[in-house]
Structure 1
């Protein structure tokens, strides 16, 4: 599999997943030759500044887009038009109109399109999705999803202008997959400065409520943490995790029922590596696409509605 990886910033997270596999040939594309060469060199990959070749070179099977959000849909459409499979970082589009255009293009193409909905590959989230689908604990009535982080990425803003689209989107996907689209949305937000803030979203559904909380108001020793509490008619699932920047990531899941509390054993998994594994398995014909654009449209719509309440029309 030969992959054109566009972007040398967050693209390095994808590059690490490809490098760990050893069965993918990757070329990293960036605007700055020195930066591209430095980023690619960490993984033993080639580098290029000639973006056009990602689409015109017939040897590339997959275009992987890790560029700023406004470029996600245009580049994904270009890849499909060029006859390439495409993986784009989330969110897949900057507007709902663009998202619908990508869904239509992917549906009309004989190529695969993927959106990096990495949270779907987090084991605790998979347990929640299975419990909702199978009715393991009855009907889901209340779901609270939260994430809180320190400023761990130098130069990256985690202020109100970026939090909804770049940080809350995956948590909102977890909610829409569990409960669908809400009938009511209420949003509160607070900013410390242009690069740090917090957003709290309350969602009303028929017979259920949900909350999504995202904060970047944490000191460096906090690291990054998150989790969820899902209250069903017959039980509760509670998940907690840390990203482990000290080299010691943690993840726990506890099920509470009338019979008591029990720890749910979770497999060790890197969600980004698992997402890449899934993409390549689909391209080999070994799996059905679980992260196609059509399945990410509800989360995009909800994220855009939250962003509009926080930041107004863009």
Structure 2
């Protein structure tokens, strides 16, 4: 499997996963020759600034898009037109219209398109979604996701303009996969400055409620933390995670019932490794695609609605 990895920023998270495998060949593409060469060398892969080759070189099987959000949709559509499989970072598009174009193009193509909805591969989230689907604890009535972080990533803004699309989107995907599309959305927000803020969004469903809260108003020693509480008719699941610069969370999951509480053992899992493992398994014919553009559309439309409420006045 030969992969054209576009982007030297967040592309590093994907490159680290590919570097640990012996069944892929990767070329990292970037605009700046020196930066691209230096970053690619960290992972032992070739570097290129000839972006056109990612689409025209017939030896590339998969185009992995880790570029700024406005480029996700045009690059995805271009890769499909070139006959490539595509993995795009979230969100798959900056607008619902572009997202629907990707859905339509992927459904008309014989190529696979994957959207990096990585949160669904975290073991605690998989257990939640299995419980909803199988009715393990009865009906899900309340679901609350939260995350809070320090400015761990140099140069990355965590203000109101970026938080919905870049940080809340994955939690909203978990909410829509569990409960569907809400009938009402209410959002409040506060900011310290252009790069630090907090958002609280509440959602109404038929016989259920949900909430997504995110904050970047934390000092460096705080790191990054998050989790969820899921209240079913017969039990509660509560997850808590902590992580630092490596993006690899240490997570606990506890089940509460009328008979008491118990910790649910979780396998050690890196979400990006699990996501890319899934992508390659699908491409080798060993699994069905769980992160198609169609499966991510509800979450994107909800994220855009939250973003509109937060940033319309701005």
The two structures have a TM-score, normalised by structure 2, of 0.98
* Residue in structure 1 matched with residue 229 of structure 2 by the alignment: 229
1:30 alignment partner in structure 2? 30
- In the alignment, is the contact (CA less than 8 A) between 1:229 and 1:238 conserved in 2? yes
Q: Distance in 2 between matches of 1:292 and 1:255?
A: 31
C-alpha root-mean-square deviation of aligned residues, in Å? 1.3
Residue of structure 1 equivalent to 2:213: 213
Name whichever of 241-250 and 112-121 sits farther off: 241-250
Deviation track 1:239-283 (CA, whole Å, cap 9, x = no partner) reads 001124489942100000111101101111000000000000000
User: What corresponds to 2:10 in structure 1?
Assistant: 10
1:119 and 2:119 are equivalent in the alignment: yes
Contact persistence 1:141–1:207 (CA under 8 A): yes
Cα 1:284–1:189 change in 2 (3 A) is same
Instruction: Give the Cα–Cα distance (whole angstroms) in 2 for the partners of residues 27 and 150 of structure 1.
Output: 32
* Distance in 2 (alpha carbons) for counterparts of 1:52 and 1:175: 38
- C-alpha distance after superposition, 1:197-248 (max 9, x if no partner): 0000000111000000010000101101100000000000000011244899
Q: How many residues align?
A: 314
Post-superposition offset of 1:22 = 2.3
Q: Which moved more, 1:56-65 or 1:14-23?
A: 14-23
* 1:86 paired to 2:92: no
In the alignment, does 2:95 pair up with 1:100?
no
Aligned to 1:298: 298
Unaligned runs of 5+ in 1: none
Contact between 2:7 and 2:28, CA under 8 Å: does it hold in 1?
A: yes
Change (3 A) 1:248 1:106: closer
CA distance in 1 between counterparts of 2:247 and 2:71 reads 33
Moved more, 244-253 or 55-64: 244-253
- The one-character-per-residue Cα deviations of 1:138-195 (angstroms, maximum 9, x if unpaired) are 0000000001110000111000000000000000000000100000000000000000
Q: Which residue is equivalent to 1:271?
A: 271
1:62 maps to 2:65: no
Equivalent in the alignment of 1:251: 251
Q: Moved runs in structure 1, 4+ residues, more than 3 A?
A: 244-249
Per the alignment, do residues 149 and 2 of structure 1 end up closer, same or farther by CA in structure 2, a change over 3 Å counting? same
Question: CA, structure 1 residues 15+121, in 2 after alignment: closer, same or farther (shift >3 Å)?
Answer: same
Unaligned regions of 5+ residues in structure 2, if any? Answer: none
Q: TM-score, normalised by structure 1?
A: 0.98
Answer whether contact 1:244 1:250 (CA < 8 A) is retained.
no
